[in-house]
Amino acid sequence: MVTSKKKKRKENGIQPPKSIKKAKMKPMVKQVIKSSQREERLERLEEEVQCGEKSGEALEALLSDLAKVSNSRERASRLFQWLIHPIPSMSFFGDTWEKKPVLIKRQNPDYYKGLFSTAEFDRILRQDDVQYGVNLDVTSYTNGKRDTHNPPGRALPFTVWEFYESGCSLRMLNPQAFSSTVWSVLSILQEQFGSMAGANVYLTPPGTQGFAPHYDDIEAFVVQLEGKKHWRVYNPRSEDEVLPVVSSPNFSQSEIGKPILEVVLEAGDLLYFPRGFIHQGDCLPDAHSLHITVSSYQRNSWGNLLAKVVPAALEMAMEEDVDFRRGLPVDYLTYMGVQNSDEEDPRRAQFLSRIEELMKKLSTFAPVDAAVDQKARDYLHDCLPPMLTAEERASSVQGAPSRWEDGEAVDVGVTIRGHTRVRLIRSGIARLCSDGEAVWLYYTADNSRVYHKEEPKSIEIKAEQTDGMEFLIHAYPKFVTVGSLPCESAEDKVSLAELLFEKGLIHTAEPLQRS
């Protein structure tokens, strides 16, 4: 690791994202429907809750098999292939990803069973601290108008199910915080994308619609879990809205034209559409709908990377190249700017030519690797922590035998030695970055299951241990002995391994024993 002045400059010029203002919620409004319809809806919902109490054996078996796969990158690839089966992953990313919607009809209502259910929705409301506007939104869309009906405070079943049977849709914003299965699936899939994988769960009563037509700034995988839902998908309205940077406002029907895809999703089906494709879904009169939208690739474009590269490149260029420090022409305001843009003046062409020359030259100062590390740090902050397998838990700090027993601490002091074999718990669990003065290891093991609830986690790595850390990162998925780490001394090797073990970043080939 080089910690020179130039590398320090590479880290500069990175602006933090602007905070997002919370939208004010509209007053609570309830739709009135006939009592007979309410009773029918509640009966259907109760039936689905009872059916959903049985675990999804297929998904449970899949996750159990994936736990035996030693390479987390391969684990992610296999799980993604299951998600989009029967489309091969390679053809999906070559032909469909970011380009067009795709529909997968399976005629297998149990394909995604076990991922999430109305029974789990109800359990979460009863057992967990679900807050309106934070974890749950209550919405409706009637007569072309979208409304949000969130009261303040905790969302309890008594009120939530009354909203539902009154015709409102329910959106759970971060199901991975409450569901271990959703957490497991998303924490695996994020390695497939190299970008945070998130999810929302949507429960919609029969004959209703919860959201207005709109497009999103994420790649969306709509997984139908229960019931069925009628979907319409529309092309981006213009080139300016292809792969947009931010999500759209709500559209009226007159603004979006005719759908390019209209389909009824049934349990076991999947609908994918890229960011920028307008969509809306409504329930048919004879069934409710429960689906989970798995999302990724938010703010993960070339432009987002260049937003980090360019300011740092410009700072370096101005320090190191006099051409960037030369003064502007004294009279440039007389022929440049909007008020002069239609004027025929040869000085304008010369000015623009000079700008073009400097822009080309600027690329030679681009600190691309440093900017990629900045992106990686953002990604590691976004990530879910890994959900450990039973084997990983037993051989990591979480399975260490230290405990309190019979009035004293026992099995304290398990020892890592030179012959101990270790490896990272996940391929992408940690990354080395430099701030110019020191080398830091950013990691995900201590992240919360709630998005950005914790600050980014990092530890400083001593200069004499950076080669050892790089060696561990590149050795994955192989186990290596602590003694083989290319550190300067045996003490450095063991202390690095102990630090990583205590932080939950590595595990051993065999559970450690007390010394």
pLDDT in tens, 260-292: 999 999 999 999 999 999 999 999 999 999 999
Q: What is the mean pLDDT of residues 85-93?
A: 97
Query: For the chain, what percentages of helix, strand and coil (3-state, to nearest 5) are there?
Result: 40, 20, 40
Tokens 């990983």 correspond to: 392
The answer to whether 5 touches 436, Cβ cutoff 8 Å, is yes
Q: What is the mean pLDDT of residues 452-460?
A: 95
Q: Which own/partner contact pairs does 65-73 have at CB distance under 8 Å and 24+ positions apart?
A: 66/188, 67/389, 67/390, 67/391, 70/477, 71/427, 71/476, 71/477, 72/188, 72/191, 72/386, 72/426, 72/427, 72/428, 72/477, 73/191, 73/427
How much is the pLDDT for 5?
A: 40
**Tokens coding 24:** 């004010």
Q: What is the mean pLDDT of residues 360-366?
A: 97
Residue 372 Rama label (left phi>0; alpha psi -120 to 50; beta)? alpha
How much is the pLDDT for 515?
A: 56
Alpha-carbon span 515 to 506, nearest angstrom: 19
Residue with the larger pLDDT of the pair 26 and 143: 143
The answer to whether 346 touches 407, Cβ cutoff 8 Å, is no
How much is the pLDDT for 42?
A: 52
pLDDT for residue 29 is more than 50: no
In percent, how much of the chain has pLDDT > 90?
83
Ordered by where they begin, the domains of the chain are 48-296 (2.60.120.650), 302-366 (1.10.10.1500), 369-508 (3.90.930.40)
For 77, the 3-state DSSP assignment is helix
Beta strands in 127-209 (DSSP E): 136-142, 145-148, 169-172, 198-204
Alpha-carbon span 292 to 118, nearest angstrom: 11
The answer to whether 426 touches 191, Cβ cutoff 8 Å, is yes
* CA dist 191 → 60, 76, 77, 275, 330 (Å): 20, 6, 8, 20, 53
Alpha-carbon span 478 to 484, nearest angstrom: 12
